Each structure stands twice: as C-alpha cells, then as structure tokens.
Amino acid sequence: MGARLRIAAVAACLAAIPAAAHADGTVYVTTSRGISQYAMGADGSLSPLRPATVGASSLYGRIAIAPNGKSAYLGTDGSRVLQFDVDPRTGALSPKTPPYAAAIPTTPYPNESGTGATIDVTAAPDGRHAYVTATELQHGGPGGNLDVLLYDIDPSTGALSLTKGAGSFGFLAFAMTLDGRSAYVGTFPDRVFQYDADPQSGALSPKTPASVVAGRYPLHIVVTPDGRGVYVVKLDNQTPNNTIAQYNVDPLDGSLSPKTPPTVLTGPTVSSIAVSPDGRSAYVGSLGPPLHLLGGPLQAPGPLRRF
C-alpha cells in the first residue's frame, strides 16, 4: 500500500443493506481490488453478486448507504467520491453517471502518486446531505488541508454535488446522530469536535464546548441507535492495547460528557466499532499485527471483540 498512512483503509470495511431492502440482505466489503458485493442468505451465508467486484482500487473508508437504500458512496485516493446506484432487487452496485462526485481541489505533494483522499462518507439521516472527510497527502501520511466537506444529495438521482467545506480540521472520523441534529468529528491527534447541524442547509456550527478529549488517534466514531451514547475507537500502536472512549450524549443539546468509566480496554490495533440495533452490544474490529502506522502494508482484519 506504499509508505504512507491510509487512515481509513486500515481494515477491509463492511456495510450491509437490511433484509427488508433486498431479499435476505446485501453485504459490501472494500478491498484493495475494489468493492466485493455479496447476497446474504437466510442462514447468513454469503454468495457473490454479479459482478462480484465493482469500483476501483485505492479505496478509503466505510461505504455509506443513503437512507432510502437507493445509493451508495465511498471515498477514494485522488480526492474523489465514488457514487453508485443500488439495484432494488439484488442490491448490486452500479456506477452512477458520472461515477464520481465533484473533485476536491488539492495541492500535489512531492513523492506522492495522488493529490489527496476522501476518507469517510456519511449520509445525513434525512437523505438531503452528505459529509465527506477529505485530506491532502504528503510523504509519510496525511497533511496539508484537512476538511469536512458538505454535499447536497439530489433527491431524484442520489448524485452528490459539492456545496462547501464545513470546516477545517485534522480529522480522522465522522459520525452523526440519527435525528441529524449533532455531528462529531474525531481529529488528529486526540480530540473529538462536536457540532450542531443545520436541518435545512446541513452546515455545521460548534457546540459549547467545541471539543472533548478522546485520546490518541480517534479512528472511528459510532452513535448508539437511541442517540444516548457515543463510542470512539482509538488507534495507538505505541501501546500494547488500545481503548474505546465512551460518552453520554446530552438529550437537550447533543454535547458529550464522559461515561463512567471513561474508557474501556480493547486489544491491539483496533480499527472500527459497530453497535447492535438494540444497543446492548458493541463489536470492535481489529487488525492482525504488525500494524505500521506510518508505513505498510497493513494486515488483514482480525476478529471482532464483543463487549
């Protein structure tokens, strides 16, 4: 994967379309060769769709599915966002026209094959906007302009159109509450910024306080289904084991405050977290060691850990 950090390519990332949408469900997995797509059987078994792989190499982040289930989005090297139509019968992905959202202006750095990357894509719960974390790349890792970009989602086609940057941060992760009123941005090296989201324009404005301490490299953020909790996975290869920071969400203003205890110990090289629909269990994906934070290759995903 070269000698630079690909933050959101730390693990092969998986997204699932619920069973109500397409037969017993559809599963997408980002790989170094593109997006592998599978039909899910009633027993949970997977079988490849046709085509078995779509998209391109140099993929970043987690696949975002539009709330209506008709579109999917994924960040790439080269400062673009892939956008797909979702087949209503099979769940198979096919590129939209155009296949990429508007390019993000970046300044090339020496010794880099690409000028930047779109890392994570999050579709707002109302389906009107999408947030894309984006960065320029420099030798050894991300650098330069680090931004959260705001896109409008076309209500008829699902295509993205760039509106503006929502703010400049040294980001690592993005998440939004299910009511669309609050957003949380994990930033380099150790904080989570918290924002109010305008329900009409999607623009972000800082909460009070503007940020909370999370710890080294907040790589992935998830909000619980009931909106009352936030979990932040931190990737720190300088310690034997990593931790998850956990927060309560204020029901009135969406601001974060640490739970008791404020952190939970995990295994080494964690990369992502998911919460069950009933909110009673959390699952953490990890990487098989060794993980080289500023150089690779990175290892294949390891087991899930249940808490």
Domain regions of the chain by residue span: 12-229
The residue among 23 and 282 whose pLDDT is bigger is 282
pLDDT score for 150: 87
Backbone angles phi, psi at 106, to 5 degrees: -140, 165
What per-residue confidence (pLDDT) applies to 79? 66
Does this model's pTM top 0.85? My answer is no
Cα(248)–Cα(244) distance, rounded to whole angstroms? 13
Task: Tell me the pLDDT tens digit for each residue of 40-69.
Answer: 888 878 899 999 999 776 665 678 899 999
The whole-number pLDDT of residue 40 equals: 83
The residue assigned the tokens 């990487």 is: 287
Fold classified for 12-229:
Methylamine Dehydrogenase; Chain H (2.130.10)
- Least reliable range by pLDDT among 29-38, 174-183, 232-241: 232-241
- Is 80 exceeded by the pLDDT of residue 26? yes
- The span from the CA of 170 to the CA of 174, in Å, is 12
Lowest-pLDDT range of 82-86, 102-106, 125-129, 254-258: 102-106
